[in-house]
Structures are given as C-alpha cells and as structure tokens.
Structure 1
Amino acid sequence: MSAPAANPRLEPFRLRGANFNLLVLRLLDPRPEVIVPALGDQFRRAPGFLRFAPLVIGLDDLAVAPHEVDFPTLAAELRRIEIMPIGTVGGTPEMKAAAQGAGLPPLRAAGAQEEVAVPPPQPAPASSEPPPAPPLPPGSMRPTMIVDHAVRAGQRIWAQGADLIINGTVNPGGEVIADGNLHVYGALRGRAIAGGADNMEARVFAMNFDPELVSIAGYYAVREGLTDAPIGKPAQVRLIGENMRFDRLG
C-alpha cells in the first residue's frame, strides 16, 4: 500500500514589507554618455564598488524636460557596466512617467507618504479604538550595533538607523555601513560608509585608516584621492560643508 501523498502547502508564497539599504545615484547631468563613463572611472579606482549593486536613480537635481533624459539608454548602459537600476525617486510627475516607461518605477522611502489623493477625513465612530502611536521620526536612532569579528571580503554589514562598531579589521572587499557614526577598532581596508540616511554630522573613526573608499552622507573619496589623509594611522573623517576632512586621532 502506497504512502499517502504529503499535504501541499496552502500558500505558494508570502509578501512582507522590508527596508533595504540602497544607494541613490543623483543625476546632475541628463546625458548617459556623460554619466556612465564617469561611473566606469570610479570602478577603475575602486574595484568592486557598485558591482551588481541595486541602485535608485534620483531625479530631484535635474532641471530639464522629461524628453531630454534618455532613460532606456541610461538603464541599459548601467546594466552593461554591471549596475542594477531598480527605480527612481523624486522628480516631476512627467519625469517619473518617462522613467517608468523605461522600466524604472517610482519608489518612496520607508515611512514617506504615498503620492495618492487623500480622501476627506470621516468622523470616527464613538466606539473606535484610540489611534496608534506615530512612528519614530526619521532622525531617531536605534541602539549601537556592535560586531565582534573581522569583516571579510564580499561581506556587507549595515547598521540601520544606528551607529556601528566593528571590533576587528574590515578587509579589502568588505563593506561596512552605518546610518550614524562608524567606528572601526582595527584596520579599515575595505569600504566604509557613514551617515547612510543623509546624516551629514556622521563621522568615521578607524584605528588604522587605509580604506578602499570612504563616504559620509553620499560624499565619498576613493583610495587614490586620500592624499591628505593619515594613511595607516588612527584617524577620523567628517564633513565640513561639502568637503571631506581627515584628522589624525590622538
């Protein structure tokens, strides 16, 4: 007698909301023939940076008509150099529509209001429950994230809404990201990103500063551009206006 067939799953999949750390490519020039070679140049100076990374295209800084941006070519050329554009943020409705026609849908940040018509408020019934507590404001920080091991090549660690402490070495090819401050109590030889939520007050601290790339709130420098930095020494990195400053610790 054959065994009874296993019961099939009642549901083939589940959908759930989640937050991800995504880089935004803010377009300052609408021409793919200008943007893509500039990104390729960064690839040569920081091998592995952005390779196969999902990227959001920011449109707020473009002051051109929608037809002046060749979104299909831009998306195709980004994929050709192994960058994965997944959508857009900002821009006018016409600009968003043009991008969506090229397979780049508009995205919104977690907690941001959707761009839909809001119906007039209706009086709540007398027996309704009290409204839920509002979410934490965007600037609120979670407890510090502490990692007690080295960060290997190809490994990425992100402290969402928090400071990050790495109690070890960040090896070449490793990437550490903090929405707040980033502390590396060891050698920083990989990629370091602080102020991941546009926090321009964030800083990077390292006991042995020798990164492939360092970034704060979207402003970045690659290894070849760190001529004024105390390479191999304890250092901190911060922003003064839009300029990155490197100071020796101690």
Structure 2
Amino acid sequence: MRVESPLSQTLPETFRLRAGNFNLLVLRLLDPRPEAVLPALGDQFRRAPGFLRFAPIVIGLGDLEAAPEEVDFRALIEGLHALEIVPIGTSGGSAAMRKEALAAGLPPLRAVGGKDAEELPAAAPPPAAEPTEPAPAGPDFQGSGRSAMVVTEPVRSGQRIYAQGADLIVTGTVNPGAEVIADGNIHVYGALRGRAVAGAQDDTEARIFALHFDPELIAIAGFYAVREQLGDAPIGRPTQVRLDGEELRFAPLG
C-alpha cells in the first residue's frame, strides 16, 4: 500500500499578498521635542473625544531643521502610544534623520510612484462604525462632477457615514458623537452638531454647508478645527466652510 508523504499533499491556501493603497494622516513635526509636541497633541484630541483614536499616522519630518540626534523618536513613539495613536513610519527629512527613525522602529514610507508620503486627509478611508452602503450612482450635484449620497435619517451618536467618491447630503441632524465624511462636499439641511470631514481624498475645493452650524469638529482636505478653534464662525446659524490655503474660512449662508 502506498502512503503519501504529508509534503506531497496539497495544503489549503492560508493567505494572499496584495498591494494596497491607503490614505494616512501625516503628523508634521514643527518642533523636534516630544515634550513640546505630545502635550499640545493631547490637548487637541481631548477637545474632540474619539478623534484619531487608534489611527495609524505617519510622522512628517520635512519641516524640521534640527539635527537627527535632537529628535527622540523612542520617546515620541511611546508618547503617541499613550495617546492611543499608532505611528507606523516617517516621510521626508534628511537621510540621517530617517536612519535614526528607522532605528527606533519607524521605517521611511513612500507614496505610490516612489515619492515620499504626502500629507493626506485625517479620516479617509474611515472604518465604518456600522455598515453603510457605498455611494449610489446618481446625477451630478450642483456641477461638482460627482454623484451625491443622500441620507434622510438623523445621524446618531457613534454612527459614521462615508460618501466615497461623492458629495454627501444629510436632510436631518448630525448629532453629537456622529461623524459624516465625504470625498466631496457635505450639505447638512439640519443641525450639524457632530463631526464633518469634507474633501477626504485631498480635495481642497470641497466645502461644508449647514443650516445650523454647531460642530464638534470640521475638516477639509486634512485641515481641521475643533469646536474651541472656530473663533468668529457663525455658530448656530446657516454657514458654509471652505479652505483658503491652509486656513478654514467661515461665512454665513444667504
């Protein structure tokens, strides 16, 4: 009787490797000292609970002029982990600085095409808090060149809606603790009391419109502001938000 060796048997497939293309938030360091960066970062995130919790980020080194040894990458990594933020690599910076980061466990990352990773929006593509349907095909909305995803129910606390490749229209209220995200514009024909992220695929022309503007956080193309940073924005009134360079601008509607 012939007995087959286990090695001659066909084993079931256990994994596959595929190339992926992901958008990541870049934390651009303007100060090399973790003791300066971490408290300021923690203060920002305390103003927007849940924002970036366990999010993977890239450490941007391109704005630093410090010597490589002046950046304590190990302390920075430990501090980010304490804030429940997950650093996965670096972009930019000198070769010596990238070498120091690699020794601490942060490899240099490159974008598709071989260029260094660029700053990308904070929340795209987001993991949904609960399943949502992809943006349905539909007519272009207000000449944007995109279809529009329409949500007719209030967006509840803890819920996240993502309009991939589309504008997002919400006919009800976006409640505190809820998040609405769109690759294009966001229109809220009710109260915006949660978080709104427009231009999630780095579209700097995207805008946010709300009939009652009172958000926890807003962002366009990766540039964001929490409630305490809205300044003279027309809170509680019909408002539009646009990006001017790297600054968010607020204007009343009508």
1:33 paired with 2:35, answer yes
The equivalent residue for 1:146 is: 149
Equivalent of residue 65 in structure 1, options 57, 63, 67: 67
Unmatched tracts of structure 2, length 5 or more: 1-8, 117-143
Task: Tell me which of the two structures has the higher relative contact order, counting C-alpha pairs closer than 8 angstroms and 6 or more residues apart.
Answer: 2
Partner deviation per Cα, 1:145-189 (whole Å, 9 max, x = no partner)? 514244333333444554333343322222223343222233211
Alignment of 1:109-128 (within 5 A): 109=111, 111-113=112-114
Shift of 1:38: 0.2
Partner deviation per Cα, 1:80-107 (whole Å, 9 max, x = no partner)? 1111112222223332222222122222
What TM-score, normalized by structure 2, do the two folds share? Answer: 0.74
Unmatched tracts of structure 1, length 5 or more: 1-6, 116-140
Alignment of 1:123-202 (within 5 A): 143-148=146-151, 149-202=153-206
1:12 paired with 2:9, answer no
Alignment of 1:51-130 (within 5 A): 51-109=53-111, 111-113=112-114
The equivalent residue for 2:242 is: 238
Q: Distance in 2 between matches of 1:53 and 1:230?
A: 31
Is the contact made by 1:54 and 1:86 (CA closer than 8 Å) also made in structure 2? yes
Is the contact made by 1:142 and 1:161 (CA closer than 8 Å) also made in structure 2? no
- CA-atom RMSD in angstroms: 2.6
- Ranges of 4+ aligned residues in structure 1 off by more than 6 Å: none
Q: Distance in 2 between matches of 1:108 and 1:151?
A: 36
Partner deviation per Cα, 1:167-226 (whole Å, 9 max, x = no partner)? 433222222233432222332111122233443332111222111011223332211222
Q: Distance in 2 between matches of 1:142 and 1:30?
A: 42
SS of aligned partner of 1:34: helix
Identity %: 67
Partner deviation per Cα, 1:53-75 (whole Å, 9 max, x = no partner)? 22221111112222221111101
Q: Distance in 1 between matches of 2:22 and 2:159?
A: 16
SS of aligned partner of 1:94: helix
Q: Distance in 1 between matches of 2:14 and 2:231?
A: 55
Distance 1:157 1:234, change over 3 A: same
